[in-house]
Each structure stands twice: as structure tokens, then as C-alpha cells.
Amino acid sequence: MMTKRKSLMILFALISAFVLSITAYAAADIINGDFESGIDSWEVIAYENKGYSVDSSVDSSKGNVAHIVSENDNDVRLVQEIEVEGNTSYRITCYVKTNSVEGGAGANIGIYGVSISSEAVLGDSDWQLVELVGKTVDNQNSIRLSIGIGSHNALSKGEAWFDDVRIEEVEDAAILFGKQTEAKSDAITSNDVAPTSFPSQQILTGSAIAFILTVLIWLWHSTEAKKPFKKNEKNGWLWIALILAAAFIVRILLSLEFYGHKTDINCFIYWGKRVVANGPAHFYDQWCDYPPGYMLVLGAMSILDSIVGGGSADMTAIIIKLPCIIADLLMAYLVYRYAKRTMRRSAALALMALVAFTPVMAFVSSAWGQIDQALSLALVIPILLLYSRRPVLAGLVYGIGIIMKPQALMCGPLFAVAYLMYIINGSPYMNAKLKQGTARLFGFKTDSIALRLTETVLAVISAFAVIILVSVPFTGNQSTFWLVEKYYGTATSYEYATVNAYNFWALIGANWKKVDVPFLGLTYGKWGTIGMVVSILSSLILYVYAVKKYKMCKGALPLSMAFMLAGIFTFGHYMHERYIFPALPLLMFAYIFYNDRRILCTYIAYSATMLVNCIAAFYYSKLFEYGLYWDTNIIFWCSVANMVIFVFFTYLVIDLCVRNKPLKGYNG
């Protein structure tokens, strides 16, 4: 009897263990991952609903496999929702074979809805194992696993086969497969409750409160700036430290509230780990659409995270955002340093506070996690170095900007003309004494065109030198002109009239419309090219006129550069919501040099519309999986506001560069 009972207990234990093991396995199981039942249990999803096919085929070595063909650039996937455990790391693997796959994310494994994908398999390739490693967030119970050609915002084309899709638990991973579900302001995207409407009310309410804060700081500055200027005032280091410390705390709180833009932050984390683990030479063996400069920064942040991060996803995100946050604080301090030369210390402190607490700057660096302020520094610092007659160092810093972010190249024509005017006009235009370093090195005893030409040549060499020194270690097996191809590919990777940039094209309904769509006899792309060319040429003409007629017109360079960026953003194609961002700090320095309150009003107006644009684009990236792509009313009215601001800005630039008649400033 005991033997029978014992046998039953053992049998019950075995059955229980078997059931538990099946339950545990089912928590992360892929149905029909070998495609022996065709593509059953998989959902076909495509961005462009034409020019593609998805079916199963028979491979001589693999048997039944999934087969995807995309004739044009597209995002075509097989998607399956699978159950997972929260706060658990997984490795997803799949065998992939390709034929003539090109562009974007190539053939890949992805997580649909959070824009995460594996390395791109491109060209012609035999069967190879591809993997994607990531971690679910707390309370997450499913992921939408995808295999296919292309990805969100990284379209591809070609032919690919997939087989043997598997998932298994692994050790801790940094990339997140889901959205945080804590009770935060961005919990609207929680997995607990699917949102049913775009958060327009929250966006507009938050932006209005932020605008009021900006206006209050502006009123503080205007009150202090009306007071007489005092020379030899003390620096007021205590107030500087308090303002910057408060700005830093605000950004840390924002970083805790918002993990960041999932695609951008996860890419930054992954790239930082990859450059440390694989080294620069093999970094670009896998997909990355950024140039190598910022990869070194991300590598350093990855090392820092391994030392102090403690494995926390929130801490990792904060550490990866630190360079952006530091750039914000440095820009604010530079504003103070230059403002106190022409206005009393209290007014300069208020102006520093205005930059430190400009909501869109804090949002982009800390909530979004992007590096646009680093690009702004790479444009502002060379201008300031030119004004202090350090042209070679200015060229070096601009080169750093180019190797960090391709958008720096947009300002290349204006910098080239600025150096040309420096050669022609000489130091009176720069209002700086002759620096003895270069002159002594080349035997120049007095200022001359030959000396300034030599300095300019050295500036160009310095810019190219830093670009080459940073890029060579990353070359690996790539072609000689891989960096040029990288820049071109990045610039043209989003072939749309506008990508969430609320400008003229968004105003007429062309947001996310292909550049080859006809419009008034041409295409969006051709009109966009004309808009860019006109913006650049008009900025160059206004700048040259100003410095030729008014040699001491220091504000012309930052003002015309801000105008050029605003024009390109407003009428150019391929634009994103943040491409106008560097115009803000450039406007701030133009205000310092011109002392015209209209420039500061333009700064405040643009900062308000940029904030609405950036927050709306941020939530679009989080909500598109629910079909909540955007609010057309926000797009329309914000685009109208940007057009009105640009018209006023155009009048202002002409008034200052052509007439050189600034209004009486607060301290003028």
C-alpha cells in the first residue's frame, strides 16, 4: 500500500514538474518558429501596402522557411506576440539568408512597437545566425517579435529567408524590449491600458506652463537689464553655482521621469557597449547611422555605467544622457560669460537662467536624451573663437562637431564665407588683437592677408585632421570613402518631405509624405532642395553685406547662421523636429552682440513652438503602434506659428544686417 502511495506521489511530482516546466517554457515560447506550418501564427505587417510578398518556401537544407520579398524601400515583417516575464533578459535568434538586400535596417529580428532591431543583414548572404538581446520592463507580459526586411524609419528592400526563430533567457541586458509602466507622466503608453487618443491636452497644457516659466525669467532679465551697466563687478560664483545646480537637478528629475526616446536611448546604450566590447575597427560591422565621433563619448559613458550604474535601467539612461546635460549647462555658462561684458551681472545671471531653464533644451537633453546641444556648442564655440582671433582652434572645434553629428555640415558654407571675410577684413572685423602663436611660428611680424590666409589654411587642416584621426580607427574593412557614404546615407535615410518637423510641408499636409510626390509642377524633394539653397544663399548674402558695410557687426554671424537653420528647417525636405534646435543658442548670442530685444522675443517664440513640436514627436514615437500617429490640429497650428515666426525673423534679419538699426536694448 505504501509502495503504491509512494509511486503515486512520485508520479504526481513528475507530472507537476512537467506542467511547471511547460508553463515556464510557454511564458516565452514562439509558435511555429520553424515555419513547418507555413507562416501560420504570424501576422504580416508592411509600411507601404504594395510591392512586396510574404509566404513560405522550401529550402534544400532547411525545409520550410519564411520568404519575404520587398521590391521597394519598405518595412515588411512577420510579427508574433509572445508571452514573456517582466524584468527578464532574453536572447532571440533566427537563421537568415538574403539576396540583394540593401538600405536601412536590412533583414533583421525586431521588436515591433519599440523600434528595436538586430544587426542588419545586407547584400547576398548564405544562412547565418542573427541574434537580438534585450530585457523586458517591470510588469511587461508580452513582446511583439518580428522578422523581416526594414524597420521603423529605416526602410529596406530585397529578398530574405528566415528559419528557426527561438527565444531563451540570458543574463542581464541593457536594451529594453518594452515600456516602463510605473505611474509616471508617460504612463499613457503603459501596457496595462492601451491609449485611445493622442495626449494633445497634456502636451499643450505642459507647454503652456513651460512658456509661462520662460516669460517670467525673461521679465526678470528685462528688469535687471534696464539698470545701468557696471564695470568690474564680481563674478557672483555662488549665484552661478546655484543656477547651474538647480538646472542640473531639474534635468536629473526629468531623466527619472522619462526613460527617453526608446529608439535613441537604446541605440546609444547598445553602441556604447559595442564600441567597448568590439573596438572601433569592428564597430561598423553592424548598423549605426551616426558618425564615429559621438561613439567615443558613448563608449566612455558605457565604461562609467559599468562602474557606477549598478545594473539599473534608469541609472544607465541617466549616465548615457550626461554629456547632453553637461552641454546644456556649459551653454548656459557661456551665455553668462559673454553677457556680463555688455550688461550688469544680475542681467547676465538672468540670461544664463533663461538658457539653463529653457524648457525645450531641458526636454531634448534629459527627457528625450538627444545630443543637439552638443552640436550647438560645436557651432557657437567656433564663432566665439573667431571673435577672439583663434581661427585655427575654431576650425578644430568645428571639425569635432562634424565628426559628431552630420547636421554641422549645414553651416559649412557660412563658416567658409566667415573665414573668407576674416582674410579680407582682418582683425578689426573680429575686434581682437593679433595672437602671436601663428605669427611667430611662420615669421609674421605684423598682421597681414598672408598671415590670415595661413591661419585659415591651418584651420581647415585642423578640421580635417580631427575628422581623420577620429574616423580612421573605425574604418575596419570599409571602403576608403565610407565616412562620406555614411553622411550621405544618414542625410537621405528619411526620404520624406518632413519627418515630424512642423514647417511649411507639414502645414500643407506633407508630413511623412515621400519626397517624390508631385507638387506644383515639381516634387516635394525638388522644392525642398530649392528651399535649402535659397536659405543658404540668402544667409550668405545678408552676412557678407553686414560685415562689409559694418565691420564691427559681431552679431551678424550667429544671427545669419540661426536664420539659415530656420530657413532650412522651414522649407527644406528631410527635416526632423530638432533640426532647428541650434538656432536657439545662436539667437541668444546674436542678442548679446546686437542688444536687440526683438531677437530675444524670437528666441522665446521659437522655444515655445519647438517644445510643442518635440513633445508631440516624442509621443508619436511611443504611440504609433496603437495607430495614434499624430494630432493634425497640433501639426497645423504649430506649423502656422512657425511660419509666422519665420516671417518676423526674416524681417528682423534684414533690418539688422542691411540697416544695422537695432532697437534700443535693455542696457543700450
pLDDT confidence band for 436 (50 / 70 / 90): low
Q: Is residue 337 part of a domain?
A: yes
pLDDT confidence band for 28 (50 / 70 / 90): low
Q: Which range is most confident: 102-116, 164-178, 325-339?
A: 325-339
pLDDT at residue 198 tops 70: yes
Q: Return the pLDDT at 628.
A: 56
Q: State mean pLDDT over 119-134.
A: 92
Q: State mean pLDDT over 305-322.
A: 86
Based on the fold, state whether residues 386 and 244 are members of the same structural domain: yes
Q: Is residue 27 part of a domain?
A: no
Based on the fold, state whether residues 422 and 533 are members of the same structural domain: yes
β pairing state of 498-499 and 575-576: parallel
90: β partners:
134, 169
Q: Return the pLDDT at 187.
A: 36
Based on the fold, state whether residues 239 and 301 are members of the same structural domain: yes
Q: Is residue 37 part of a domain?
A: no
Report residue 415: phi and psi, to 5°: -65, -40
Based on the fold, state whether residues 517 and 407 are members of the same structural domain: yes
Based on the fold, state whether residues 150 and 237 are members of the same structural domain: no
Q: Return the pLDDT at 666.
A: 53
Based on the fold, state whether residues 205 and 174 are members of the same structural domain: no
Q: How many domains does the chain have?
A: 2
Report residue 329: phi and psi, to 5°: -70, -40
Q: Return the pLDDT at 285.
A: 80
- Looking at residue 58, which CATH number applies to its domain? 2.60.120.260
Cα angle 423-428-430, degrees, rounded to a multiple of 5: 70
Distances (CA, A) of 623 to 148, 255, 617: 21, 20, 10
pLDDT at residue 185 tops 60: no
What is the per-residue pLDDT across 503-518, written as a single tens digit (0 to 9) for each?
999 999 998 888 888 9
**All residues at 6 or more sequence positions from 533 whose CB lies less than 8 Å from its CB, including other chains:** none
As a whole number of angstroms, the distance between CA 489 and CA 158 comes to 17
Q: Return the pLDDT at 569.
A: 96
Q: Return the pLDDT at 181.
A: 37
Which of 144, 178, 212 is a domain's end point? Answer: 178
Who has greater pLDDT, 193 or 84? 84
Q: State mean pLDDT over 308-318.
A: 82
Q: Return the pLDDT at 182.
A: 38
Based on the fold, state whether residues 567 and 437 are members of the same structural domain: yes
209: β partners:
none
What is the per-residue pLDDT across 68-87, written as a single tens digit (0 to 9) for each?
999 988 889 999 989 888 88
pLDDT at residue 23 tops 50: no
Q: Return the pLDDT at 336.
A: 96
Q: To the nearest whole percent, how much of the chain has pLDDT over 90?
A: 55
Q: With left for phi above 0 and alpha for psi between -120 and 50, is residue 230 left, alpha or beta?
A: beta
pLDDT at residue 17 tops 80: no
Q: Is residue 596 part of a domain?
A: yes
Q: Sign of dihedral through CA atoms 298, 300, 303, 308?
A: negative
pLDDT at residue 48 tops 50: yes
E-assigned strand segments in 538-653: 575-576
DSSP states of 489-554 as a string? HHHTSS-BSEES--SHHHHTT-BT-BTTSEETTEEHHHHHHHHHHHHHHHHHHHHHHHHHH-TT-T
Q: Is residue 668 part of a domain?
A: no
Based on the fold, state whether residues 84 and 136 are members of the same structural domain: yes
Which of 178, 213, 241 is a domain's end point? Answer: 178
What is the per-residue pLDDT across 246-282, written as a single tens digit (0 to 9) for each?
999 999 999 999 888 888 888 899 899 989 988 998 8
Based on the fold, state whether residues 372 and 430 are members of the same structural domain: yes
β pairing state of 107-111 and 142-149: antiparallel
Residue numbers of the domain that contains 533: 200-659
What is the per-residue pLDDT across 239-252, written as a single tens digit (0 to 9) for each?
999 999 999 999 99
pLDDT confidence band for 199 (50 / 70 / 90): confident
| Residue 281 DSSP label | G
Based on the fold, state whether residues 138 and 212 are members of the same structural domain: no
Based on the fold, state whether residues 162 and 222 are members of the same structural domain: no
Q: To the nearest whole percent, how much of the chain has pLDDT over 70?
A: 87
As a whole number of angstroms, the distance between CA 399 and CA 594 comes to 28
Q: Is residue 186 part of a domain?
A: no
Q: Sign of dihedral through CA atoms 152, 156, 158, 162?
A: negative
Burial (CB count within 10 angstroms: exposed 0-12, middle 13-18, buried 19+), residue 366: buried
Q: Return the pLDDT at 189.
A: 39
As a whole number of angstroms, the distance between CA 298 and CA 296 comes to 5
Q: Return the pLDDT at 18.
A: 43
What is the per-residue pLDDT across 579-615, written as a single tens digit (0 to 9) for each?
999 999 999 999 999 989 999 999 999 999 999 999 9
As a whole number of angstroms, the distance between CA 590 and CA 324 comes to 23
pLDDT confidence band for 3 (50 / 70 / 90): low
As a whole number of angstroms, the distance between CA 31 and CA 375 comes to 46
Which of 148, 178, 208 is a domain's end point? Answer: 178
Based on the fold, state whether residues 309 and 163 are members of the same structural domain: no
Who has greater pLDDT, 132 or 172? 132
Burial (CB count within 10 angstroms: exposed 0-12, middle 13-18, buried 19+), residue 163: buried
pLDDT confidence band for 135 (50 / 70 / 90): confident
Q: Is residue 82 part of a domain?
A: yes
pLDDT confidence band for 22 (50 / 70 / 90): very low
Range scoring the smallest mean pLDDT among 115-129, 246-260, 319-333: 115-129
Q: How far is CA 302 from the centre of its chain?
A: 18
Cα angle 292-298-302, degrees, rounded to a multiple of 5: 140
As a whole number of angstroms, the distance between CA 158 and CA 99 comes to 6
pLDDT at residue 622 tops 80: no
Q: Is residue 14 part of a domain?
A: no
96: β partners:
128, 162
pLDDT confidence band for 193 (50 / 70 / 90): low
